[in-house]
Structure 1
Amino acid sequence: IYGGVGTGKTMLMDLFYSHVENGRKKRVHFNSFMLDVHKRIHRRKQSLPKRKLGKMFTYDPISPVAMEISKEICLLCFDEFQVTDVADAVILQQLFETLFKTGVVVVATSNRAPEGMKSSSTCTALRFDFWPRLIMFLPLCEFCHIVCLDSGMDYRSLDQPAAVKLYYLTGTPGAEACIDALFQELALTQKTATGPRVLPVLGRDVTLEKTCGSIADCTFDELCGRPLGASDYLEMAQTFDTVFIRHIPLLMLTLKDQVRRFTTLVDIFYDSKVRVVLLAAAPLDQLFLHSGGEDERDRQLLDDLGLSGEAANRLTLFTAEEEIFAFQRTVSRLKEMQSESYWMQEERRRLVNI
């Protein structure tokens, strides 16, 4: 199911999922699914007998992992399907060929049509064998019905009752004090003192300097300036129900890595219903500044590949098309995350648990 941001793709998929009575089903964000697949592959590789010196043999763990998944589920629902990692693209091509052949039904949402994903990989001009698979793996088109859900309306942008003020502008008098006061108010509901928190993620530690129970008070640089990824943000989403993000700068193409981390972070927090309070350099609709052109790393890569400006303009790698598309989704989701209905979801969940 593909279409513009906020058109109801995830809602429709979730509605379908909730009405499927078969217990062998799984609804998961794409990033979570890929982390699970990598863990399964790693576990199978670790279980192999140690190789003797000089002895070489090949082992393909992907098909056994696909068979393992197909025995657990018959329905797999993805939110925000996207492939931007070479290793993931190679794994997915083989994994899904096996899943489809064993009868697993897959439902996925994406902002991009599969045809668009493939056409945006005019990257075949690079003549790398893996490149066409970087954006899209072919079995999706072969085995799936492609449905467009695009009314042209972002329903998240419709007026909704706002929660308490959750989006502040850097430099506005009293903004920091208001955020400090909100943090203190929420901290009073916690049973622990304010201090650093160390999160173990895949054998390493990620430290957040200011936390209190299920609340984290972070800076943009702390979350997106470091080499963190989906696994780190998933761990945060499982640990915290409210995250403050301070000092978000204007997000320009010279900050591509930080922009990509921020979009991943928002996707995961939104999917996990984490509440956010933001302090940013500009209003939400003006936060992502796209001025066109390539940054210095892009120009260097163009020179290394021997590509002309005309050829580069056909490649989304150099046009920032993917970043712009992803950030439209980020803005739409952040608007909904400021609504009273979104903010109160955690309160209702907490009351149910009590």
Structure 2
Amino acid sequence: MADMLTAEAGGSVLAARYVARMAAGDIAPDSGQAKVVAALAQLEQRIASRRLARKSSALGWLFARREDTIPRVRGLYIHGAVGRGKTMLADLFFESVAVRKRKRRAHFHEFMADVHARIFKVRADMKAGRIKEADPIALVAAALYEEAWLLCFDEFHVTDIADAMILGRLFEKLFDLGVVIVATSNVAPEDLYKGGLNRALFLPFIAMIEKHMEVVRIESPTDYRMEKLGGVRIWFVPDDDHSMAQIDREMEKIWHRIAGNDGGAPASISSAGRIIRVPRAGGGAARFSFEDLCAAALGASDYLRIARAYHTVVIDHIPQLDQDRRNEAKRFITLIDEFYEKGVKLVASAAAEPEDLYLGTEGAEAFEWARTVSRLHEMRSSDYIARPHGRGDSEASGDTTGLVET
């Protein structure tokens, strides 16, 4: 398989990195993934050719080239079942592609929240006379293009009618400007917004995706999220046989199993104009200490962004909390609520089992803790681990890492 990828990739950085991780045992041989790697490697090369053409166009006086002679690059829409490695491959592509500026990696849900906020601001500026009357969506598309002409979306799905009504016009403008889009999704394009209100108005958008993006299904028999966490102890408490130092070593092993042999790297998430620092992130997972998450001034919206950005979160050293630390207890309750609703997988080391973690007896958190205990136990079950990321009990939702290179 490594030889096949190397031959098909023709010098692709993405394919070389994938093969190296496979050789290191970080990635298991998978023919379904190999097919997607080959498609991404070809896209990587088309983008490299476009960049060269653009450089030549900039010297038009010498080469008689024009911008409109540069061929448009079709993006890629990758779909398939949960846990097949779509996010990992998209991350590898984003890291490898020869675009150092003007590229953006985002969770689709948060991208659309950003789009709605921009449209609202443009309309407010027009109403106040700060800018001339124009098509707000066209102005937003132009601004997005100036920031990034390569957009990579994770968990592309549409459940909101407001999104559905905007997408066609927005993406038409983006594609006209030459934006290249790579997206991962659990559903095929024809199943987007299935059963949604006024879906007939959404169908032209599906046709637009199929025109401007190559559609590839990842046919992998293995659910790697279940493979990495299924049967693994995910809540660690010191006992007569296990000290916290031993637990720390076991947590480190599990982290590398989830995030990869290199252990990931620091990352950040944008949240309402602020930056949430992620000490370590890799393979679609993030690792924090309890103090990082619950001693800091974070709230529900911050935890929601973390929940949308990462399918698995590892938390080290959750302490026993008494009445004097009820603020940390409140944050932890909120954190678990957001993780639970979005199907985030949790691996944690703690001073005690969930029912013994909070010792306070006063205030709302003392009563709410029972719900947290119940959810923490459920989150250790195989049924919960098999739940798709990003899906609450009643709706599919989708965080952007706010990763924009300029």
TM-score (structure 2 length as normaliser): 0.44
* TM-score of the aligned structures, taking structure 1 as reference length: 0.50
Rg: which structure is higher? 2
